Amino acid sequence: MVRPKVSTPPARGTAPDVHYRAVQLDAGRLMPIEVRLGRRLLRTIPADSDEGLALLASGRVEIVPFRDWERGGEH
């Protein structure tokens, strides 16, 4: 009999692996901040909103130059 694989749920109190990323255009303007869980896009946040500015100030947002994003697609 083949036993099914059982995934172990994350331990209580551990935060999910959420990443924040924004593409910076050549003119310096930022596109909306992407909130991702792994490869899944959860939502976008306008970079100039209160929440977006707070995330940028905290240093948690990865800024990707447009030319790098354009070459590699998913970074």
- Contacts with 30 (C-beta within 8 Å, 6 or more apart), sequence order: 22, 23, 24, 47, 56, 63
Greater model confidence, 65 or 75: 65
The per-residue pLDDT for 10 is 61
Confidence of residue 37 (pLDDT cuts 50, 70, 90): very high
pTM value is 0.70
As a whole number, mean pLDDT of residues 16-31 equals: 90
The per-residue pLDDT for 75 is 46
